Amino acid sequence: MCGIWALFGSDECLSVQCLSAMKIAHRGPDAFRFENVNGFTNCCFGFHRLAVVDQLYGMQPIRVKKFPYLWLCYNGEIYNFKQLQKQFGFDYQTLVDGEVILHLYNRGGIEQTASMLDGVFAFILLDTANRKVFLARDTYGVRPLFKVLTDDGFLGVCSEAKGLINLKHSTSLCSKVEPFLPGHYEVLDLKPSGKVASVELVKFHSCKDEPLHVACDTVEALPSGFDLETVKSNIRILFENAVRKRLMAHRRIGCLLSGGLDSSLVAAVLLKLMKEININYPLQTFAIGMENSPDLLAARKVAAHIGSEHHEVILNTEEGIQAIEEVIFSLETYDITTIRASIGMYLVSKYIRKKTDSVVIFSGEGSDELTQGYIYFHKAPSPEEAAEESERLLKELYLFDVLRADRTTAAHGLELRVPFLDHRFTSYYLSLPAELRIPKNGIEKYLLRLSFEDSNLLPKEILWRPKEAFSDGIASVKKSWFSILQDYIDQQVDDLLLEKAAEKHPFNPPKTKESYYYRQIFEKHYPGRSSWLPHYWMPRWVKATDPSARTLKHYKSATQE
Whether cis (ω within 30° of 0) applies to the bond prior to 61 is yes
Q: Which helix (H) or strand (E) holds 82?
A: helix 81-88
The residues annotated as belonging to the active site are: 2
**Does residue 363 have a known ligand-binding role?**
yes
Q: Which residues of 349-364 are buried (b: 16+ CB within 10 A; e: fewer)?
A: bbebbeeeebbbbbbb
Alpha helix stretches (DSSP H) within 332-480: 336-355, 367-370, 383-395, 401-410, 423-431, 434-437, 446-451, 460-463, 470-473
CA distance between the termini of the chain: 44
C-alpha–C-alpha distance, residues 170 and 156, integer Å: 14
SS3 for 28? Answer: coil
| Distance from C-alpha of 107 to C-alpha of 130, rounded to nearest angstrom | 15
Secondary structure, 3-state, 388-411: HHHHHHHHCHHHCHHHHHHHHHHC
Cβ atoms of 419 and 367 within 8 Å: the answer is: no
Is there a binding annotation on residue 256? yes
How many helices (H) and strands (E) in the chain? 22, 17
CB 126 within 8 A of CB 70: yes
What is the spatial distance between Cα 529 and Cα 136, in angstroms, rounded to a whole number?
23
Can you give the C-alpha Rg of the chain in angstroms?
23
Question: What pairs with residue 198 in β-bridges?
Answer: 188
Q: How many CA atoms lie within 13 A of 257 on its CB side?
A: 36
- What is 225-245 written as a DSSP string? S--HHHHHHHHHHHHHHHHHH
Q: Determine the Cα–Cα distance for residues 94 and 71; give it in Å rounded to an integer.
A: 15
Q: Could you give the C-alpha distances from 438 to 85, 227, 351, in angstroms and in order?
A: 40, 16, 37
Question: How many angstroms separate the CA atoms of 175 and 166, rounded?
Answer: 10
**Paired residues of 190 in beta bridges:** 196
- The answer to whether 120 and 183 have CB atoms below 8 angstroms apart is no
CA nearest 458: which of 301, 254, 235, 241?
301
Which helix (H) or strand (E) segment holds residue 352: the answer is helix 336-355
Known binding-site positions for L-glutamine: 97
